[in-house]
Amino acid sequence: MKINDENTDPNENSTLNSESSSDPSKDPVQVFCRLRALPEECQSCVKLLSPTTLTLTASSKIGRKECNYVFKHIFTSYAGQREVFEHVALPLLEDLVKGKNGLLFTYGVTGSGKTYTLTGEPSMPGVMPRCINTLFNSIADYQAQKFLIKSDKMNGFEIQGENDALEDRLLEVKTSTTKMKTIKRGGGDVKNNYENDGTKLRCVNENNLYAVFISYTEIYNNTVYDLLDETSGKVLQAKIIREDSQKRMYVNGVVEVEVKSAADAFELFCIGQRRKRMGHTILNAESSRSHSTFNIRVVQLQKDRSHLMVGQLSLVDLAGSERCSRTQNTGMRLKEASSINNSLMSLRTCLEILRENQLNGANKLVPYRDSRLTLLFKNYFEGEGNVRMIVCINPSIEDCEENLQVLKFAEMTQDVKIPKAESRYTPYKYKTPSKPTKQTPSTQTPVTSKIKKVVSFGPKIPSVKLNMENPHENIMVLDSLIKLLHARRQKRERNQQELAKREQHFRKRLLHIHQDSVLTKSEIRSLKALLKKEKQTNRNLNTKITDLETSNENLASSNKQLQDTIRTLQTTIDEKNLRINQNRLEREKAKQKLALQSEKMSQELDEKLRQQRARLQAAMLAKEAKIQKVKEILESDTMSACASEQEVEARVQPEVKIVQEMRTSGTTLPTPRHRRSRSAGEVWLEHNAIKPVALGTVLQPSMKKRKSVSKLKKASDVTNPRQNKYCLLAQEADAGGELETKLYKGDIVPTCGGGAQVIFNDVECLRQESPTNTHAPSTPSRK
């Protein structure tokens, strides 16, 4: 893959490619591209130039920039699933039946079609269903009996005897019957039959017996889980990655199921799909939140049982790579996205270092152990198989930035060279029979069967009697004897050659068995150490369990005591609540009683005030009449200066007589009284800015409870909670030169901030005038 722009030198790229392609023992990672169909209303950022070249138009701060990318082959949106399978997966499947390994993984943004390319639909199967159907179409007549070849749980295989295989088959029948009952009872359907087009492979060896094993794993949050492990229940148990005797990485304890038909394989795939982590994101309603690996292992056994060969094909569906800011993930989805991006970054880092080591001849350490994904497929990048990648692109202009990063990764990947994979025979073991049975020819090794054959040294030497009377006859007998001895000699020589060959073969077998023995001893030592460690761990766990049980009992006892205390406190609380409710009812009744009494008292006071107001009104009228007469007398210009006091007394006598009559009758004379303020029962803050001159008027403010200040020095003078009224006194002369006093009254209201404010709602004006004043008479007023 190349990027042709302003910063790229085509000559330099061609030089690098020619240098890297000069090594015939290595093959580059083949990268294919598949474009997803785009709706008509969406704009595309990808333009196809040829079956192997496309252009991506990206926008930057400088402007629009076009980059060209070259692939092994580009599948347009019109390409079908069969075309993708024939170009990409069919060569890997042919290598599989030849005993070679292969790795195929899909890479791209979420929603670009990775899962659809691998699995597809029942009517349009993807790569995985077509591989399974094609494989069983080709080896249907050459399959070994089930359980004849069995996994040894350490990434190897062993051959069982007929009796052990028969027992396993009977056990499987019982287990499958129970499983089907459970499925029918639960109403589940685990089979998903994909369409089979009948494709077959031509490279199947008819002299071999074939067995197919399926395993399905996922890597979620950098932890490996077995999707076919039914012993773990609903919660999947984490698995570890180990290295076998051949330095190959594998998932320890993974479940490998032998299948004899495509339907069995699809059933296992559907079971794993139900346990796979899926999630909803903004870009895809059903997005894979983990990297899933579907492994197909084909084991070949020669009919004479002298060799065993294993091939593996791993189909990997990588989780989508996208920016978290675009998906707006939060919580668990954000953690999943972070783990996915970290594992993909580790894969990219490993490939970059491999590329640098190959181009520059460096020897940097490749960090496979930074991620479970790179550690699991370490052997593929070190020459254990053929590696291919399908880059899935959604050509929408909204995914342009993500597609640019994906294409850069694909460009770097296809520059990595992988050593060519070779078919190799894997050492295998014969499983020791569980019961001592007579060994059948099918379980004997080829060497043992040949040793048991009767060795022939040629024709038997007959007894010879010489006839001395007939020498000619003796000569004929001796000639036949000589010929017989020559034949026996030739037979002996052939036997010696055969013996030498068998001896050499036997030595090879002994060496092979010795190697197996050394490996087995090494494994046994490691297993013993592991078993010792597990036993120690088990003892520690038992001790912890005992301690935890003791702690649990203590906590249970404490919990019981606390429960008793809680019940006691709850009883006390209920009693207090009952008392509180009773007191509340009593208070309500007292409030109602006081309200009735206050209402009655207010009515009585209103009646008394009405009567007093009537009496005062009559007194005021009488006094005003007297004052008016006095004014008339004083203001009369026609009054004679010589009028005697008797005449004055005669004029005033009627008023004096009225007063005397009122006193004699017991009528209370109206006396000047101060007007009761409306706020008589409240606490006042009297603010005297100046000391007023006493006017001696009839209307005077009445503030029994008050605090007088001449100056407000601090806030507490106003914010005192016991004060609720405010009065400001001011004294000045009016327009006529008469002195008047004004009282500005208001309510003190507390504020939310802890202070107080004054709301003025009344102004009283008090004044005193002389009756001899020539101006128009005026009376004390109140505003």
Q: CB–CB of 398/322 below 8 Å? A: no
Binned at pLDDT 50, 70 and 90, residue 105 comes out as very high
Binned at pLDDT 50, 70 and 90, residue 697 comes out as low
pLDDT tens digits, 140-186: 889 998 888 988 888 888 888 888 888 888 888 877 665 655 544 44
Q: Which residue has the higher pLDDT, 51 or 335?
A: 51
pLDDT at 178: 58
Q: Which residues are annotated as a binding site?
A: 108-115
Q: Which phi and psi (to 5°) does residue 225 adopt?
A: -130, 145
Q: Which of 141-145, 231-235, 687-691 has the highest mean pLDDT?
A: 141-145
Binned at pLDDT 50, 70 and 90, residue 731 comes out as confident
pLDDT at 460 over 90: no
Q: CB–CB of 94/298 below 8 Å? A: no
Q: Which residues are annotated as a binding site for ATP?
A: 108-115
pLDDT at 457: 62
pLDDT tens digits, 18-31: 444 456 678 889 99
Q: What is the mean pLDDT of residues 482-492?
A: 84
Q: What's the one-letter identity of residue 499?
A: L
Q: Which of 275-279, 518-522, 675-679 has the highest mean pLDDT?
A: 518-522
Q: What is the mean pLDDT of residues 111-126?
A: 92
Binned at pLDDT 50, 70 and 90, residue 308 comes out as confident
- Residues 177 and 175: their CA atoms lie apart, in Å, by 5
pLDDT at 626: 87
Q: What secondary structure does DSSP assign to 374-434, as a single string?
A: HHHTHHIIIIISEEEEEEEE--BGGGHHHHHHHHHHHHHHTT-EEEPP---BPP-EEPPPS
pLDDT at 132: 96
Q: What is the mean pLDDT of residues 299-320?
A: 88
Q: CB–CB of 48/76 below 8 Å? A: yes
CA distances from 26 to 2, 568, 694 (A): 20, 82, 121
Q: Domains of the chain (ranges plus CATH)?
A: 22-138+157-280+290-419 (3.40.850.10), 678-783 (2.60.40.4330)
Give the residue from 252, 248, 120 showing the smallest Cα distance to 196.
120
Give the residue from 76, 160, 89 showing the smallest Cα distance to 127.
89
Q: Which residue has the higher pLDDT, 347 or 771?
A: 347
pLDDT at 692 over 50: yes
Q: How far is CA 369 from the centre of its chain?
A: 24
Segment among 131-135, 295-299, 430-434, 450-454 with least mean pLDDT: 450-454
Question: Which residue is listed with tokens 């199947």?
Answer: 204
- Residues 185 and 196: their CA atoms lie apart, in Å, by 30
